Amino acid sequence: MTDTHVDAHGHAHGVPKHPYHLVDPSPWPIVGSIAAGLLATGGVLFMHGYGWWLMAIGFLAVLATMAVWWRDVIREATFEGHHTPVVQLGLRYGMALFIASEVMFFSAFFWAFFSAALYPADGVWPPKGIHPFDPFEFPFLNTLILLLSGTTVTWAHHSLLEGNQKGLIQGLTVTVILGLCFTSVQAYEYGHAAFHFTDGIYPSTFFMATGFHGFHVIIGTCFLAVCLWRATQGHFKPDHHFGLEAAAWYWHFVDVVWLFLFVCIYWWGMGNAVPASHGG
């Protein structure tokens, strides 16, 4: 697989005959497994009333592992030249499959909602006593925010392709701000909901679907914030920027899922119920 050559210092090195990246041994997989185990165990103990300290330790350990592991990936891609075109193709396939798995993830939540909505136990949907959100108030505002953020991340990507560093940074900055705005509006909306998670099938399916989408928005905002920092450091080049592409793909996926949530759960799912804002 390799040829051997001797450098100026008399040291022999293997020169790979292939474009693939054989990753050096890393401590982060085992460290990440331990951190995830601490987080899971701590979460179980917390839910059984044994305190939150182990869960907090596990959470911080997972964040630290993510930071150092992805730091190594950035070094391999940006400074060490290991992400050849063949490697980037593999990364694209991997990201596409990851998004496909996320589609299946959300499909399960939609399935649960439609199953309950189309065949309600008492023949009425939403159940009696439930006052859903008016879809054309805060949900519509968040729809506009996310659609706008989809255009700004595309602006950032096309600016990079054209060698416009200023446009890249501006587009990413606006996208991150819009992501924070979406999360803030949804948090306010949740705080003023007329129902709670344990109030029945409508609240539980509603909060599971919209809440996990909100979690994905937070992840995507962090993803784009890292890309913004990398853009300020000059890491991205017009022909070498898969990290930004992956973030843009993920953000567009979040956009599309929200459109389905808005139409199916907020709008169609409210049926003939009186919205909370109109219910007196």
Residue 70's alpha-carbon distances to 45, 83, 168, in angstroms, are 29, 14, 22
Instruction: Give CA–CA dist 141/134, Å, rounded.
Output: 11
What pLDDT, in 10s, does the model give residues 1-57? Answer: 444 444 444 444 455 677 887 888 899 999 999 999 999 999 999 999 999 999 999
Q: What is the pLDDT of residue 248?
A: 96
Note the CATH number of domain 1-82.
1.10.287.70
Q: What is the pLDDT of residue 246?
A: 95
Find tokens 């950032």 and name the residue.
156
Note the CATH number of domain 84-278.
1.20.120.80
**Which of 36, 103, 98, 20 has the alpha carbon at shortest distance from 69?**
36
Q: What is the pLDDT of residue 6?
A: 45
| pTM check: above 0.85 | yes
Q: What residues pair up with 2 in beta bridges, in sequence order?
A: 16
Is residue 11 exposed (0-12), middle (13-18) or buried (19+ Cβ within 10 Å)? exposed
Report residues of the chain scoring pLDDT below 50.
Answer: 1-13, 279-280
* Ramachandran area for residue 13 (φ above 0: left; ψ -120 to 50: alpha; else beta): beta
Q: What is the pLDDT of residue 275?
A: 78
Q: What is the pLDDT of residue 81?
A: 85
Q: What is the pLDDT of residue 46?
A: 95
| Identity of the amino acid at 141 | L
Question: What sign has the CA pseudo-torsion 195, 200, 202, 205?
Answer: positive
Q: Where are the domains of the chain?
A: 1-82, 84-278
